[in-house]
Structure 1
Amino acid sequence: MADIGIGSPMSTQAIDLTRAVVLSASGAAGAEAKAIEVLIEEVAKRSGVIYRRMHELPGAASGNDPIIVAGSRESLLPLMGSDGNLVEAANLSPEGYILRTSELRGHSAVMVIGADARGVLYGIGKLLRQVSFRRCSIQLSEELNIVTSPRFELRGHQLGYRPKTNAYDAWTLEQYDQYIRELALFGANCIEILPPRTDDAKSGPLMKADPLTMMVQLSETIHSYGLDTWVWYPNIGNDYVNPASRAEELAEREEIFRLVPHIQAVFIPGSDPGDMEPDLLFEWTGHIASILSHYHPEAKIWLSPQVMMHESRPWLDSFYAHVEREPEWLGGIVFGPHVDDPLPELRRRIPAKYPIRRYEDITHNFICQYPVADWDVAFALTLGRECYNPRPLAQKQIHNVIASHANGSICYSEGINDDVNKFIWLDQDWNPSTSVMETLRDYARVFIGPDYADSIACGLMAQEENWALPLAVNDQVEITLQQWRQMERHANTHVLGNYRFQMGLLRAYYDAYTKRRLIYETELEYRAKDALRMADQNGSLAALEKMERILGLARAEPVAPDYQLRCQQLADELFAGIGSQLTVSRHYASHPERGAFIEAIDFPLNDIRWLRQQSEIIREEPSEAERLVLIEQLLDRTNPGPGGYYDNLGSPRSASRIESGTLWENDPGYLSSPRIAHMPGMMMMISDKRQKELGGVPLAWENTANIMLDTPLTLSYDHLSPGCRYAVKITYIGESRGDGYWVTLTANDEQIVHENLHIPAASVMTVQSEIPPYATANGKLQLTFRRAKGFKRLHVAEIWLIVAAGHEPLQARGCEDNYQLRS
């Protein structure tokens, strides 16, 4: 076909697309036809305007309505011939597109030309992200000239239909369809779904469909957009050696592979969940691959070297040995949580023929792959692991620092709490140079409204700043709330009912409420201790009574109750609108840590629990003199004595004593650096009886200095007295998994203070040991903790460096306390 002279640059700066006509090839089918449907449907949803369609170039007398040309290069070629845009599109990589404003036979035009069907969808998505939609108005405010292809091959997210999630289990198929569509508008090309049986209950009170039925339907939905279906399929059986058990497990997989119509890949994690040695894992996976290939001949199985319960190095070495044999069924390797080799090292160990996919945890705040750096304990206690957590700058850094070692990502998610992070990852997987503000503006413009593009983008950035400093001194928190409240006051009903706006608004109120409570409850604790200091004058029992009355003011006379009420209202609205489960009691969350952070909105932010437990113990003493002694000990719990040092390693002051190792910017997963870890489940782990035996759980145990694997934890002390003898008292925290861990402590990396000390699983242990006198002879001291063996994480909560009375040698002591916790 001759060149008909279309595609010349526009002469104007903007186009009114309200009366536009969509021009596409009559033969467009499948995913390309779906993409054009998406354009028409999304325009109608956002503006009420229903676009007309045409399949022929406009004639001379066809009016002046603008035209949106949409289609793949192949389908448009018969229609447009040698148009320069089509010539340029021939050089695009797969899934790329051209999005350009131009003129077409005297009409203003927008050209959306994809390298293939997916490219059409992504070009349409970008167009929808640039347009300002209002009622009966569609405006494109500036010229477009975008020629782009994705940087990474894999771009997607896991959407699990199971009760553990904080929203997905409440969704209908229509809600899934819309969310998958929205992810595709930002470049997603694959969605990972789950089988009916995982490490979770098969069904829950909010589920609208049988899990297997939903799995089949989701596969169809994903395929309709031209995207790939991945299946995350952990090994959670009890016995993979017994022939009968193996047959039952294989039969289950065969049924699923037979019924699910579209599967491009199956991902089997090495653990989390699952617990298999590599020899058995690879042998077993070979049988699964045989069944998979029967129903889905092109599908491959991907494995991850995730290790939770084992000593990771022998396990990893065995895993690598199996991969080096290059099994034919292996499609690639997955890097995710509990992979203990950094991604560059994983890439070095894996044969080049196998791509590596990232399975990144973007949903959790702590006890996770990428914890929030230096997070205030008040947020850890209240917002928990799965709050609404927009972290645009952190997510971009996490993505980009190791991106070159993988071929893209399908991220792990437990619901919509990480909604913003999902779209940051999609844009970074498409082009890592994309600024987070560009993504956030697009996000706000297309999902909330054009009048909010800048204000919502800045508001989400501000929420990340809320977490950047110790909460008590972070004045950004109040500013963030002021900004969101102003948006709330001026928002229309449609915006106020938008779940994405509601999520941001709730976080703004919640953060400000938490700060107000932190300041208030901290002051109440000081006042309560003031009352105890008067015990020798007013009597111990009267002092204890006054202390408890003061502490009780946090509930009797709460601060900012209107903030708390607004959070509760928004939580109810979010449950009604999108199934977000922010409480166990009202919204059917499976567990408080599974996104139900409203349950913890009034969790104490001072040591009220420990003080009340101490009060009970003191009251049981019949002697006034003994009660006064115990009160003095209570007030002096953290006192290291004259010349000594006390460190709560979760506090910013004490954390500054820790040698940082690799900077966060280069090691956001802390695989080779110490970090501050939060342990807010400690109270739940300790039985009531044990709590009474140990006198309660101080707030200091809720966070620790934490190291992984062979990384050392080193603390430095200066200005010591060279003529004094010192002892060190340490509180270790044991996790609930495995057999615990063994730790060795050295002074100045030379003298052993204690060696191969066993910290049992689910325990708290306080140990006091003498420091060799020559270790402090120059007035300085370095204490270095190393995990000798056992579970991969080591936790140190508190350290007292104590001067011996009269400079006399201190006798080294073993375990002062060993508090076994309830798993």
Structure 2
Amino acid sequence: MKLGNAIFFVGLWIAVTPIGYAQGRGLSYIDLSAGGICNFVTDKQQLLRTQSVLLEEIAKRSGIDLPMMSSGELGKKPGIILTLESDTKRLPQVVQEAVGEMEHIGAEGYRLIALKKYQIVVVMGKDARGLLFGVGKLLRKATITPDSMLFPDHFSLATTPKNPIRGHQLGYRPKNNAYDAFSVAQFDQYIRELALFGVNCIELVPPRTDDDPTHPIMKLPPAQMMVELSRICDSYGLDVSMWYPNVGKDYDSPAGIQSELAEREEVFAALPRLDALFIPGGDPGDLEVDTLFRWVGQVAEVLRNYHPDSKIWISPQAFKQTDHWFDVFFEQANRRHEWFGGVVFGPWVSMPIAEIRNRLSPEIPIRRYPDITHNISCQYPVPDFDLTWALTLGRESINPRPREFKHIHNLFESYAIGGITYSEGTNDDVNKFVWSDQDWDSSTPVVETLRDYARLFLDPLLVEPFVLAIFALEDNLRGSPLTNGGMIRTLDKWRYLEQHSPAGKASNPRFQMGLIRAYFDAYTYRRLTWETYLEQQAWDVLRGAAPETVDNALTEAIALLKKGASQPVCADWRQRCLELADSLYESIGTQLTVERHHGYEERGNFIDHIDMPLNDAPWLLPQLEALLSTPSVAEKVKQLAGILQRTDPGPGGIYDNFSEAGSWQRVEKGKGWFADPGNLQSASHGFNIKVKGPSERAAEPKAWMKQATVLYDHPLVIHYGELDTHANYSVKIAYTGRFKSNISLHADGLPVHGYQPVSGSEVYEFDVPKAATSDGKVTFQWRCKPGERGLQVAELWLTRKERN
């Protein structure tokens, strides 16, 4: 056994071997390095690919080719026993006795036990899948290093998955940030690794979606890869589901229906395995409910010809969900159509899952379709997400959120029978394994999942440092970087691992995904502090300008604001991000830019925004430069005053920017994130950032880019107090945001304005009814029309007018 490299850990230099490492931590183990595998499975078809998975994964990590061994060799040298519960009587007596004392296991469950005295590790599956999942647990708990494989000799576990559906959607389409670049072999390995964490279903997408039909970086045409993915899943004994949206134009005429059915028949006939079909009610698609269910019944007839046991699941997703829409949906769902598998709760379902459960017949199951891939503008946005991160990391970045997704998973688990997550690529890799582990057993501490993840995929000798480094990336996104301040400490954690772990030197993609985020976050934090300082300096110069010095002030302010681009900070960190982005593209096809890596805007291309301005320079500079060329000094002074006083509500007035914490205190929060992470019954922050190109923003104030937001028909309520009881007031509102809704406003129940169509970038002013403010306080309540997606308020000026 070779002596390992000296590593620095917790302040001490220790020369370790894998055995020395285990002993140093107070662990005892079975050394399987010189052992073998003994297979007691009678029906070899039930082995699936499990035996080869175990051998191959050990060999990849250790270089050891474990031999097969006979039962007579057990006890003479270390061994791994593979067996099914049905083959128990074939096992040695001591093994029978040991497993007989363990808890009962159900479908897909397994027992995993180390028999120290005999130097044996037993993996017993309830069935073929259970054996695969048990092997996965063995690999997750073993310390496998070059020339060594150690397993804790005290280990004993009997476990059955809590949820029968545990899976992820792996869509092969151009919109994804990595999957569309995968080869068949890469998909096979990724699906295998998910199965090692208990995944039993993979969801595919059809060749035609709401996306481009193909992409130059694809290794195979979509129709061919779809078949390969079905075959891969079947080889591991995993279920196959397919997300099949209704993106056609005609589901009413006989010709239109026949064309759509012919396409589906071709898809169904080509797939070697298809266990379930998921047809969303919308996003994309916009069929009326009766048409939707009639159409799905026609699809079911075609599906039955090729996959007779397959069921169809439907989600109540739609961009215009009214009470009537839901009434018809539940009437149809509760009819118990022969083909009906159940209801899917996913993004853009406006009804809380608890209410859906109450309105469905008890025997109809719910399957979750959680969005684990996006940061904002999604089902479960990052709470307290700062505008800085919205401008740079954007909607879809590398985004480990282990604590948040454990909480979200467990909060709604009781309403469903598991889930298949919505994913757009490898950016949510950590989230997939966390969600899978929680679907298996939601009592599992998330730190244990990360330890398994680090041990299996990163470095088994630096598990705890890796776990803390992953947690730190989640912590980086807590609130404003200016007050969080943890980004540099997070980078220190990852740079230490970059220097001391083989994962850092071997261009391990999972390591590099964490490392690039650490460099990116720290670089962004340093830019933010620098650009914030420059903007404050510019404001100070402008505020101090006199008529005779206005030109000098404008010139100096312009120069200060331009320094953000002309005098950048931490150029070496920026360069490291670019290098890592290239490396990730070469290894797993990660598309972190549009031009260089063939990505899509808002689909993981956050490196395109690495230099996105973080202050108000894009809004200020055009105005200041225009002022400088204005010939009239008086006009310059007047217009400059307008810029300086843009947010001034006047004497006795109140101004609020709802992207700021101080203003946010006035907002009625509703249930809040811990009870309502999907914000169906809560106010939250929304974002609307108009990007012109890489690192280019539209010339509008930062205050317009983050808003107080509510979804659907939930009201936005904001309270004001300490008003002048004798004065009249007017209210000016910046209705900016992504939703183009019809909005009404009431003050203490009195109308301020009726349904007002807003475009998402306008400012309106209205008189406030005197009766609403006569008691010295007022409550504003906004609503959008029933069936619309929501509303946003970015800024508000409450201006005191004349007194009575």
TM-score by length of 1: 0.91
Aligned-pair distance for 1:207? Answer: 0.2
1:758 aligns with 2:757: yes
Match of 1:769 among 757, 766, 782: 766
Match of 1:705 among 700, 704, 708: 708
Partner of 1:73: 85
Matches of residues 529-544 of structure 1 in structure 2 within 5 Å?
Answer: 529-544=539-554
Partner of 2:16: none
In the alignment, the residues of structure 2 paired with residue 496 and residue 344 of structure 1 have an alpha-carbon distance, to the nearest angstrom, of 47
Aligned-pair distance for 1:107? Answer: 2.8
1:807 aligns with 2:794: no
1:490 aligns with 2:500: yes
- Give the counterpart letter for 2:115 in structure 1: S
Match of 1:34 among 39, 45, 49: 49
Partner of 2:113: 100
Task: Answer whether contact 1:682 1:701 (CA < 8 A) is retained.
Answer: no
1:210 aligns with 2:221: yes
In the alignment, the residues of structure 1 paired with residue 101 and residue 220 of structure 2 have an alpha-carbon distance, to the nearest angstrom, of 46
Aligned-pair distance for 1:79? Answer: 4.5
Matches of residues 298-317 of structure 1 in structure 2 within 5 Å?
Answer: 298-308=309-319, 310-317=320-327
Task: Answer whether contact 2:110 2:126 (CA < 8 A) is retained.
Answer: yes
In the alignment, the residues of structure 2 paired with residue 192 and residue 33 of structure 1 have an alpha-carbon distance, to the nearest angstrom, of 20
In the alignment, the residues of structure 2 paired with residue 314 and residue 620 of structure 1 have an alpha-carbon distance, to the nearest angstrom, of 59
CA change 1:290–1:720 in 2 (3 A) is: same
In the alignment, the residues of structure 2 paired with residue 613 and residue 80 of structure 1 have an alpha-carbon distance, to the nearest angstrom, of 82
Match of 2:295 among 281, 284, 288: 284
Matches of residues 518-537 of structure 1 in structure 2 within 5 Å?
Answer: 518-537=528-547
CA change 1:614–1:313 in 2 (3 A) is: farther
- Give the counterpart letter for 2:803 in structure 1: H
1:546 aligns with 2:556: yes
Gaps of 5+ in 1: 1-11, 809-823
In the alignment, the residues of structure 1 paired with residue 103 and residue 274 of structure 2 have an alpha-carbon distance, to the nearest angstrom, of 29
Task: Answer whether contact 1:20 1:52 (CA < 8 A) is retained.
Answer: yes
Matches of residues 363-762 of structure 1 in structure 2 within 5 Å?
Answer: 363-492=373-502, 495-589=505-599, 591-619=600-628, 621-681=630-690, 696-733=699-736, 735=738, 740-748=740-748, 750-759=749-758, 762=759
Secondary structure, in 3 states, of the residue corresponding to 1:546? Answer: helix
Task: Answer whether contact 1:40 1:51 (CA < 8 A) is retained.
Answer: yes
Secondary structure, in 3 states, of the residue corresponding to 1:112? Answer: strand
Secondary structure, in 3 states, of the residue corresponding to 1:433? Answer: coil
In the alignment, the residues of structure 1 paired with residue 44 and residue 303 of structure 2 have an alpha-carbon distance, to the nearest angstrom, of 28
Matches of residues 160-199 of structure 1 in structure 2 within 5 Å?
Answer: 160-199=171-210
Secondary structure, in 3 states, of the residue corresponding to 1:588? Answer: coil
Secondary structure, in 3 states, of the residue corresponding to 1:249? Answer: helix
Task: Answer whether contact 1:472 1:515 (CA < 8 A) is retained.
Answer: yes
Aligned-pair distance for 1:33? Answer: 4.1
What is the total number of aligned residue pairs between the two structures?
776
CA change 1:595–1:743 in 2 (3 A) is: same
Secondary structure, in 3 states, of the residue corresponding to 2:227? Answer: helix
CA change 1:656–1:362 in 2 (3 A) is: same
Task: Answer whether contact 2:114 2:152 (CA < 8 A) is retained.
Answer: no
Superposed CA offset, 1:770-807 (max 9, x none): 22233223332221212234522101111011111x53
- Give the counterpart letter for 2:754 in structure 1: E
Superposed CA offset, 1:167-189 (max 9, x none): 00000000000000000000000
Task: Answer whether contact 1:28 1:75 (CA < 8 A) is retained.
Answer: no
Aligned-pair distance for 1:462? Answer: 1.1
In the alignment, the residues of structure 2 paired with residue 645 and residue 77 of structure 1 have an alpha-carbon distance, to the nearest angstrom, of 79
Task: Answer whether contact 1:89 1:114 (CA < 8 A) is retained.
Answer: no
In the alignment, the residues of structure 1 paired with residue 243 and residue 321 of structure 2 have an alpha-carbon distance, to the nearest angstrom, of 24
- Give the counterpart letter for 2:82 in structure 1: A
In the alignment, the residues of structure 1 paired with residue 713 and residue 136 of structure 2 have an alpha-carbon distance, to the nearest angstrom, of 46
Partner of 1:114: 125
Partner of 2:11: none
Task: Answer whether contact 1:741 1:789 (CA < 8 A) is retained.
Answer: no
- Give the counterpart letter for 2:797 in structure 1: W
Partner of 1:811: none
Partner of 2:97: 84
CA change 1:209–1:301 in 2 (3 A) is: same
Task: Answer whether contact 2:48 2:235 (CA < 8 A) is retained.
Answer: no
In the alignment, the residues of structure 1 paired with residue 364 and residue 266 of structure 2 have an alpha-carbon distance, to the nearest angstrom, of 28
In the alignment, the residues of structure 1 paired with residue 602 and residue 217 of structure 2 have an alpha-carbon distance, to the nearest angstrom, of 18
Task: Answer whether contact 1:89 1:115 (CA < 8 A) is retained.
Answer: no
Runs of 4+ in 1 over 6 A off after TM superposition: none
In the alignment, the residues of structure 1 paired with residue 284 and residue 667 of structure 2 have an alpha-carbon distance, to the nearest angstrom, of 33
CA change 1:459–1:198 in 2 (3 A) is: same
Task: Answer whether contact 1:495 1:501 (CA < 8 A) is retained.
Answer: no
- Give the counterpart letter for 2:558 in structure 1: E
Secondary structure, in 3 states, of the residue corresponding to 2:546? Answer: helix
Task: Answer whether contact 1:496 1:502 (CA < 8 A) is retained.
Answer: no
TM-score by length of 2: 0.93
Superposed CA offset, 1:585-634 (max 9, x none): 21110x22100000001101111111123235435644221121001110
In the alignment, the residues of structure 2 paired with residue 682 and residue 36 of structure 1 have an alpha-carbon distance, to the nearest angstrom, of 51
Aligned-pair distance for 1:313? Answer: 2.4
Superposed CA offset, 1:359-413 (max 9, x none): 0000000100001111010000000011111111110111011100000010000
In the alignment, the residues of structure 1 paired with residue 592 and residue 683 of structure 2 have an alpha-carbon distance, to the nearest angstrom, of 32
In the alignment, the residues of structure 1 paired with residue 90 and residue 292 of structure 2 have an alpha-carbon distance, to the nearest angstrom, of 52
Gaps of 5+ in 2: 1-26
Task: Answer whether contact 2:115 2:153 (CA < 8 A) is retained.
Answer: no
Partner of 1:816: none
Aligned-pair distance for 1:741? Answer: 2.1
My pick for the range that moved more, 666-675 or 750-759, is 750-759
Match of 2:251 among 240, 243, 267: 240
Secondary structure, in 3 states, of the residue corresponding to 1:271? Answer: coil
Partner of 1:270: 281
Aligned-pair distance for 1:648? Answer: 1.0
In the alignment, the residues of structure 2 paired with residue 141 and residue 576 of structure 1 have an alpha-carbon distance, to the nearest angstrom, of 37
Task: Answer whether contact 2:713 2:790 (CA < 8 A) is retained.
Answer: no
Superposed CA offset, 1:683-727 (max 9, x none): 68xx99xx7xxxx41111111111112211111222223233221
In the alignment, the residues of structure 1 paired with residue 506 and residue 500 of structure 2 have an alpha-carbon distance, to the nearest angstrom, of 9
Superposed CA offset, 1:274-307 (max 9, x none): 1100111111111110010100110011111101
My pick for the range that moved more, 786-795 or 661-670, is 786-795
My pick for the range that moved more, 141-150 or 662-671, is 141-150
Match of 1:778 among 750, 766, 775: 775
Secondary structure, in 3 states, of the residue corresponding to 1:357? Answer: strand
State the Cα RMSD in Å: 2.1
1:252 aligns with 2:254: no
Task: Answer whether contact 2:103 2:158 (CA < 8 A) is retained.
Answer: no
Task: Answer whether contact 1:35 1:120 (CA < 8 A) is retained.
Answer: yes
Secondary structure, in 3 states, of the residue corresponding to 1:201? Answer: coil
Aligned-pair distance for 1:140? Answer: 1.6
